[in-house]
Structure 1
Amino acid sequence: MKIAQIAPLAESVPPKLYGGTERIVSYLTEELVAQGHDVTLFASGDSVTNARMVACSDVALRLSPAVRDHLPHQVVMLEEIRRRSHEFDVLHFHIDLMHFPLIRGFADRTVTTLHGRLDLPDLKPVYQAFPDIPLVSISNDQRRPMAPVNWVGTVYHGLPVGLLPFTEKPVGNYLAFLGRISPEKRPDRAIEIAARVGMPLKIAAKIDNADKAYWETVIEPMVKSHPNVEFIGEINEHQKAGFLGNARALLFPIDWPEPFGLVMIEAMACGTPVIAFGCGSVPEVIDNGASGILVGSMTEAVENVEWALRMDRKKVRATFEKRFSAERMARDYIDIYRSLPGVRTKAAPLRRANGQGLDLRVVA
């Protein structure tokens, strides 16, 4: 298939540091290429891929001091996509909802994966105005707040199986917290859990501008007052393997409707069990007792740390390989692409008009 992957421009694909959506776009794009598909990636110019590359900005917008407003760059990307839309069997968007008016004429050859939370009231009028756009959720729980829309599937995230190596015997005796410093991620809970069980806690996290006040007034004082807590800051992909692999367990003490929670399967890939509060997607991602432990309170979290430390790390890794590989993720998306009405009825004529052969392997 000829597939367009359209990534956000805020971060590169893959991102240099934090950026869950861009990381998933990278894993999906590379796996689709490996499976023999003709993939074009629309992304920032500093992205790295084996697919065909269309640079829609010089560098990731978040990392460019010259960029003050992201919107003009995104509009330019959308115009390039509109101009070239006839070249592709399917166009896969990862940019939320800005493209909806643009794709009206070829929406039946598109998929939009929604990567964020959907319980914000401002979103409802938009999705009510575009009920026909094919949408993919990253967990079933993510769908709960939405008005009736055109869901075409749920696809759980996946990682390349060789990305994060399995660590059978971690050298660290610490608990880990990885993600963002924000109220909904509850790093305060992580600090309290580690203190109550008497274990060191290492926090590797990004601090967004919007969360600086929360860091300065709540979390930073807690870090300073707990000698068992080490704040590392934002880490890159290469540092992640050692950080997660050498942890005895990952704490995921969230307090919001998490759409997926990529860090959970990153820990699982390393064989590191996850102690997670059962919000949002968490019960869909964690196999309780196999890859981690689901808890509903601070007391339960503290009481179950010892159980997590005794879990079979080989079983944690095996659960990851069975459920959350990039290969499985790509297969799931291909199944969705081939089920789209426009792919079944319009892709072949487009190929002939473009003077190209057909390799859709679908029946109308």
Structure 2
Amino acid sequence: MKIAQIAPLAESCPPRLYGGTERIVSYLTEELVRQGHEVTLFASGDSITSAELVPCSKMALRLDPAVKDMTPHHVMMLDQVARRADEFDVLHFHIDHLHYPLMRPYRDRILTTLHGRLDLPDLLQFYSAFPEPPLVSISNAQRRPMPPVNWLGTVLHGLPENVLPYRHVPCGDYFAFLGRISPEKGPDKAIEIAARAGVRLKMAAKIDAADQRYWDQVIAPMVAAHPNVEFIGEINEFQKADFLGNARALLFPICWPEPFGLVMIEAMACGTPVIALAHGSVEEVIDHGVSGFVVSSVDEAVAAAKSVGTLERQAIRARFEQRFTAERMARDYLAAYRRLPALQQAPQLDMLAIPASEDAIRMPIPSASLEVRAVSAA
């Protein structure tokens, strides 16, 4: 199958530092290549891939001080995609909705994965105006605010099995917070939970310009007031393995409709349990009492923090391998690709056999339904 993956340009694929969407695009691209498909990646020029790379910017736009507005760069990328669109069986977009008007001539082979939150009023208007393009969600919870649209399925994220090594016995005695310093991620709650549980907290997080005031006025004073809290800053993929693997638990005290939460399965890959507030996708990702604890309040999180040692790290890693590998993610996306009109009309196309477990994705999914089967075989 000839597949184009169209990534955001804010980060490279994979990102050097923080970046969830681009990391997933990279993992998917590499796994599709490994499975024998011909993949072309439209991404920033500093991306590293075994696919054919079409560089659409000199470097990750977030790291380029000369870039003030990312939109023109994405429009130029779309022009490159349009020039080559006839070469591909599938055009898989990961840039939300920028491509909709430009890609109408190729709508029979386009799939769009929505990676962000969908509860914003402007998006309701937009997707009401464009209900036909095939979409994939990254959790069933992500779909709840949407009008009726053409959902092909839900594909939960996955990681390569060896990207984060399993750590049977962590050598650190701390809780980990990994992500962004922003109100919706709950860094203030993480500090409170760790302090009340009497456990050190290490915070590895980036601070966006939009959240600088929140850091200055809320989180930085809290860090300064709690000697058990260490702020590390933004870390890279190599540092992440030790940071997560040596933690007693990952704290994920979000207070927003998280579409997925990649850090949860990164922790699980290391065998590290997760303590998470029950918002967004959390209950789809964490198996309560097995891979972590799903709680409804800070008080419950503190209680869970004192019981986290009862969870078996080997069982957490096993649950990751069962549900959240890149191999499973790619298999699910291939099943979604086969439902696109262009591929249904081309039975002569040489494609991998569809495992029996994927039969359910061929069945029409009611667009207005919130009770949607995840494509994951879990």
Q: Unpaired runs of 5+ in structure 1?
A: 349-357
Q: In structure 2, what is the equivalent of residue 81 of structure 1? A: 81
Q: Quick one: structure 1 residues 130 and 68, their matched pair in 2 at CA, closer, same or farther if it must change by over 3 Å?
A: same
Determine the C-alpha separation between the residues in 2 that align with 1:289 and 1:96. 35
Deviation at 1:339, TM superposition (A): 1.3
Q: In structure 1, what is the equivalent of residue 143 of structure 2? A: 143
| 1:245 aligns to 2:236 (yes or no) | no
- Render the CA deviation track for 1:311-338: whole Å, top value 9, x for unaligned: 1000000000000000000000000001
Asked if the contact 1:106/1:342 (under 8 Å) is kept, the reply is: no
Deviation at 1:124, TM superposition (A): 1.2
Asked if the contact 1:156/1:329 (under 8 Å) is kept, the reply is: yes
Deviation at 1:361, TM superposition (A): 5.6
Q: Quick one: structure 1 residues 160 and 20, their matched pair in 2 at CA, closer, same or farther if it must change by over 3 Å?
A: same
Determine the C-alpha separation between the residues in 1 that align with 2:162 and 2:90. 28
More moved, 25-34 vs 337-346:
337-346
Q: Quick one: structure 1 residues 103 and 232, their matched pair in 2 at CA, closer, same or farther if it must change by over 3 Å?
A: same
| 1:359 aligns to 2:358 (yes or no) | no
One-letter code aligned to 1:105: P
Q: Secondary structure, in 3 states, of the residue corresponding to 2:338?
A: helix
Determine the C-alpha separation between the residues in 1 that align with 2:93 and 2:301. 38
Asked if the contact 1:89/1:347 (under 8 Å) is kept, the reply is: no
Asked if the contact 1:174/1:248 (under 8 Å) is kept, the reply is: yes
Q: Secondary structure, in 3 states, of the residue corresponding to 1:339?
A: coil
Determine the C-alpha separation between the residues in 2 that align with 1:236 and 1:89. 34
**1:290-309 aligned within 5 A:** 290-309=290-309
Q: In structure 1, what is the equivalent of residue 22 of structure 2? A: 22
Deviation at 1:362, TM superposition (A): 7.9
Identity %: 68
Q: In structure 2, what is the equivalent of residue 351 of structure 1? A: none
Determine the C-alpha separation between the residues in 2 that align with 1:362 and 1:313. 35
Q: Quick one: structure 1 residues 158 and 361, their matched pair in 2 at CA, closer, same or farther if it must change by over 3 Å?
A: closer
Determine the C-alpha separation between the residues in 2 that align with 1:243 and 1:202. 9
Q: In structure 2, what is the equivalent of residue 330 of structure 1? A: 330
**1:7-156 aligned within 5 A:** 7-156=7-156
Asked if the contact 1:42/1:56 (under 8 Å) is kept, the reply is: yes
**1:173-322 aligned within 5 A:** 173-322=173-322
How many residues are aligned here? Answer: 355
- Render the CA deviation track for 1:231-286: whole Å, top value 9, x for unaligned: 00000000000000000000000000000000000000000000000101000000
- Render the CA deviation track for 1:34-92: whole Å, top value 9, x for unaligned: 00000000000000000011011111111111222212211111011111110000010
Deviation at 1:129, TM superposition (A): 1.2
Q: Under a length normalisation based on structure 2, what TM-score does the superposition of the two structures give?
A: 0.92
Q: Secondary structure, in 3 states, of the residue corresponding to 1:67?
A: coil
Deviation at 1:360, TM superposition (A): 3.1
One-letter code aligned to 2:143: R
Determine the C-alpha separation between the residues in 2 that align with 1:261 and 1:49. 24
Determine the C-alpha separation between the residues in 1 that align with 2:172 and 2:68. 42
Determine the C-alpha separation between the residues in 1 that align with 2:283 and 2:112. 24
Determine the C-alpha separation between the residues in 1 that align with 2:347 and 2:14. 29
Q: In structure 2, what is the equivalent of residue 354 of structure 1? A: none
Asked if the contact 1:139/1:156 (under 8 Å) is kept, the reply is: yes
Q: Secondary structure, in 3 states, of the residue corresponding to 2:315?
A: helix
One-letter code aligned to 1:360: M
Asked if the contact 1:194/1:201 (under 8 Å) is kept, the reply is: yes
Determine the C-alpha separation between the residues in 2 that align with 1:361 and 1:129. 35
Asked if the contact 1:43/1:53 (under 8 Å) is kept, the reply is: yes
Alignment root-mean-square deviation, CA: 1.4
Determine the C-alpha separation between the residues in 1 that align with 2:353 and 2:324. 26
Deviation at 1:343, TM superposition (A): 1.6
- Render the CA deviation track for 1:74-131: whole Å, top value 9, x for unaligned: 1111011111110000010000000001121221211100000000001111111111
Q: In structure 2, what is the equivalent of residue 339 of structure 1? A: 339
- Render the CA deviation track for 1:273-308: whole Å, top value 9, x for unaligned: 000001010000000111010100111111111221
Post-superposition, which runs of at least 4 consecutive aligned residues in structure 1 deviate over 6 A?
none
Deviation at 1:310, TM superposition (A): 2.1
